[in-house]
A and B are shown apart, each in its own frame.
Chain A
Amino acid sequence: MLSDIQLVKLAKDGHLNAFESIITRYKDKVFNIAFSFTSSHSESDDVAQNVFLKVYSNLNSFEEKSAFSTWLYRITVNECYNVLNKRKSNTVSIETELAGKDNLSLKEVLADPKSDVEQNFLSAETQSIIRKALLELPEKYRMIVTLRDIEDISYEEIAQIMEISDAKVKVWLFRARSRLKSIIKI
Chain B
Amino acid sequence: MTTTVQQPEGAGTPEADVLLDVRGLKVHFPIKKGVIFDRTIGHVYAVDGIDLQIRRGETYGLVGESGCGKSTLGRAILQLESPTAGEVVFDGTDLASLKGEQLRRQRRHMQMVFQDPLGSLDPRQTVEQLLLEGMRAHGLTKDAQVARTRLTELLSAVGLPKNALSKYPHEFSGGQRQRVGIARALSVDPQLIVADEPVSALDVSVQAQVINLLEDLQEEFGLTYLVIAHDLAVVRHISDRIGVMYLGGLVEEAEGEDLYDEPLHPYTRALLSAVPVPDPVVEDSREQILLPGDLPSPANPPSGCRFHTRCPWRQPTRCEEERPELRVVQVDGVPASHRVACHWAEQIASGELGRHTVEVDDVTHPDEIHPEIDSSLGAKGVTDASA
Do these two chains really belong together in a complex?
Answer: no
User: Which residues of A approach B to under 8 Å, CB–CB?
Assistant: none
User: Which residues of B approach A to under 8 Å, CB–CB?
Assistant: none
